[in-house]
Amino acid sequence: MEEEVAMSKFRIGSLPTLYYIPDFVTHDDQIHLLNHINQAPLAKWKTLKNRRLQNWGGVVHEKGLLSQNLPPWLSNLTRRISETTGLFPSPINHVLINEYLPDQGIMPHQDGPAYFPVVAILSLGSPAVMDFTPHSKLKLSDKSNSQSQDTCAEASEMEAQEWVENHYPFSVLLMPRSLLIFKDEAYSDYLHGIKDSRVQQFHGAVNLNDLLERHGLDQLLNSEKEVIETNAGDTKTICRSNTRISLTCRLVLKVHKNLFKI
Ligand SMILES: O=C(O)CCC(=O)C(=O)O
Ligand SMILES: [Fe+2]
């Protein structure tokens, strides 16, 4: 609970479990991290259809993590994330590094069941807009399965309707060097994804007011040349011109020591 109080100043939007920490790492830290990521052997990259990724900490299976120690340049970062947020019950042991070219993104998805339901994502390079979409299908079928046939059908339908009415899609503007954290409801009731387009709109982003309060629009526009305002302030877009690198830091509670080198 104490940690949630410490984190409360970083809460964004209407969900109690979504946090955004601007400038979590310095410009020098960003260069240092990017150097390590870019110096990794080519074989460390796994190329998917619409992005490349590096997997650190071991292999995640349904039954847990076949763990490998994180290198110090990553464990220094994950230790800081744990200490600052106080939201991880034991040290973060897995980091996925995603690389996106300006027209690449990630499909709406929910993170796998092997992870403890808290995720911290550090953004580096180009900004991006992350969209959160209520996960209604699963939620509704969960509810209808758990109710006993006819007697509860009506109550269940009302509950489902209420659930839909209380869950809205929203987006978050992920600026370079920021840390996004989401857990519990934001983790389980929403899919998250990034559109695979170079131009992304962010005028409805739930952290926009915080960013504007902190930087002012002029500074935001000037500091990141990819952030653009058009139409007399109505439409705000980013136009990604560089690579974005994200570090998704998570915890797998069930760990098997990996005896084999991978
Ligand atoms: O790149 C990001 O910001 C999101 C990555 C993500 O959702 C994941 O690795 O599961
Ligand atoms: Fe994810």
Q: What is the pLDDT of residues 137-183, one digit of tens each?
A: 555 555 445 544 555 677 777 777 777 777 889 999 999 999 999 99
- C-alpha to C-alpha distances, 64 to 46, 96, 190, 256, nearest whole angstrom: 21, 15, 23, 7
Q: Which atom of ligand 1 is nearest to the CA of 121?
A: 3
107: three-class secondary structure by DSSP:
strand
Count, residues in the chain:
262
In a domain, 123, yes or no: yes
Asked if the interface predicted TM-score (ipTM) of this complex is over 0.85, the answer is: yes
Q: Which of 107, 194, 238, 251 to mutate to test the pocket of ligand 1 (most atoms within 8 A of CB)?
A: 194
| pLDDT at residue 135 in the model | 83
Higher pLDDT, 2 or 174: 174
Q: Which domain holds residue 77?
A: 1-136+169-197+241-256
Q: For residue 111, give the amino acid letter.
A: D
Q: What is the pLDDT of residues 6-37, one digit of tens each?
A: 899 999 999 999 999 999 999 999 999 999 99
| pLDDT at residue 62 in the model | 81
Say if residue 59's pLDDT is above 80: yes
Q: What is the DSSP letter of 69?
A: P
Q: What is the pLDDT of residues 218-258, one digit of tens each?
A: 778 777 888 887 766 677 889 999 999 999 999 999 998 76
In a domain, 221, yes or no: no
| pLDDT at residue 63 in the model | 81
> Distance (Å, rounded) from C-alpha 183 to C-alpha 118?
4
| Cα end-to-end span (Å), the chain | 39
In a domain, 178, yes or no: yes
Distance 177 CA to ligand 1 centre (A): 15
Distance 218 CA to ligand 2 centre (A): 31
> Which of 259, 261, 218, 254 lies closest to 90 in space, CA to CA?
254
In a domain, 202, yes or no: no
Distance 219 CA to ligand 1 centre (A): 27
Mean pLDDT confidence for 98-113: 95
> Distance (Å, rounded) from C-alpha 215 to C-alpha 98?
27
In a domain, 216, yes or no: no
Residue 185 backbone dihedrals phi, psi, to 5 degrees: -60, -45
Q: Tally the domains of the chain.
A: 1
Say if residue 212's pLDDT is above 60: yes
In a domain, 149, yes or no: no
Higher pLDDT, 68 or 232: 68
In a domain, 16, yes or no: yes
> Distance (Å, rounded) from C-alpha 17 to C-alpha 185?
7
Q: For the domain that residue 98 is a member of, what is the CATH number?
A: 2.60.120.590
In a domain, 131, yes or no: yes
CB under 6 Å to ligand 1: residues? 96, 98, 106, 111, 121, 130, 192, 246, 248
Q: Which atom of ligand 1 is nearest to the CA of 193?
A: 7
Higher pLDDT, 157 or 132: 132
Say if residue 105's pLDDT is above 80: yes
